[in-house]
Amino acid sequence: MGNFVDHVKITCKAGNGGNGSMSFHREKFVLNGGPDGGDGGNGGNVCFYADLNMHTLLDFRFKSKYTAENGVDGAAGNCTGKRGEDLIIKVPVGTVIREAESGAVVADMDTAGETRTILHGGRGGWGNRHFATPTRQAPNFAKPGIKTEVHTFLLELKTIADVGLVGYPNVGKSTILSVVTSAKPKIGNYHFTTLTPNLGIVRRHGKDIVLADIPGLIEGAADGAGLGHDFLRHVERTRLLLHVLDIAGSEGRDPVEDFDQINHELANYGELAERPQIVVCNKSDLPDSEENVVRLKAHLAELGLDYPVFVVSAATHQGFDALLDKTGDMLEALPPIVHFEEEVSYDDSVKPGTFEIVRDGAVFEVVGSSMQRLIDSVNFDDEESMSWFHRTLRKWGVIDALRKAGAQEGDTVRIIDMEFDFVE
């Protein structure tokens, strides 16, 4: 139980594209055989797979850096390099992948067996055969493969369950789960016995209901106190909450005050307080329970809350048939489990992106997300490759932007770590 891990940070990198080959056909008695440089192979993708047999992110604590295989360089004889193998990273069902810096959702792995390609491998570079023209029959340059970037992701495991059992520690949530399902959670008479979400399935009138016994809340949980966010992230997907109370107050707390405090913590963490609830008054076999049920119902009426209230005893197994029937009826009318929509995707191909011209004294610097990949695809020792580079800058609008920024013939232009003279 102590090895349950539900949030980790990892770095991933797709494979680089293989370089294109610069070669010419050589054969006895064949003159001017022409260019035959093969293309580089594409780099491998980084993919995530939702594995039903995984229940924790613990493995990522021991390995946090993942790199797909690079594409192989092209070769003479029009031989294309081998494509890099994809890297498949297995995660538990319910894992949300976020961009570490911004928190934007990259993918929600909420379906068992689902595979998502998150990072695409770099495109293989073209061999010199692609650059042959009627006026340039022996191109002596090829394109390098696209180099990919390292991305940092935050993995968050959010339990997939229809119903979440919430409440203070030691109110009997684990015992209730064991009574109504075949789950065997760790049970003990001390706080925070449950340190991980326990899942159980109950079949009711031909339909399965997935219940999650969530670690107990304490005051300040929404701010991280106790198990804090480690609890609350697992409630986000549930459609219905069973709010479990120690109605006898056997721990010395007032169950009515417990009810208010738990809802306060839920309200402080997103919109969880608006989630439909059934109030479950557990430990009804103990003294003072009947009086407290009356007080609780009066309190709910004062607040204008029409939550259903069920009196049960996990110790004597009383009251659960009616509770489960109501749970099934309410689920029928509720929308599906929350899915986190994709907010960001990645593309390491070389294509125009946003850029800006920054003047640094007498130097005009071109800054933009695509500039590094453009620089990586140029052979600066080859005149024809440099001509392609200049044409690309013109096509992307960089030359016009430099002119508008005040650059004149001969001024210094910097792109990444390369400097050039400005030429119209």
Over the chain (424 residues), what is each successive 10-residue block's mean pLDDT?
69 94 77 82 96 84 94 92 96 91 91 93 88 77 86 87 84 84 46 54 81 63 43 74 92 92 79 85 92 96 95 92 93 80 69 78 86 78 79 89 90 90 84
164: left (phi over 0), alpha (psi -120 to 50) or beta: beta
In the chain, the domains with their CATH numbers are: 7-157 (2.70.210.12), 163-332 (3.40.50.300), 355-421 (3.30.300.350)
What pLDDT shows up at residue 1?
A: 37
CA distance 155 to 300: 38
Count CA atoms closer than 13 A to 33's CA, side-chain side. Answer: 14
How many C-beta atoms lie closer than 10 Å to residue 197's C-beta?
26
89 to 65, 335, 348: CA distances (angstroms): 11, 30, 20
What pLDDT shows up at residue 348?
A: 59
What pLDDT shows up at residue 96?
A: 92
Phi, psi of 173 (to 5 degrees): -65, -45
Which tokens in the block code for residue 234?
A: 């697992």
312 to 21, 172, 289: CA distances (angstroms): 75, 11, 10
For residue 134, list its beta bridge partners. Answer: none
How many C-beta atoms lie closer than 10 Å to residue 92's C-beta?
22
What pLDDT shows up at residue 188?
A: 38
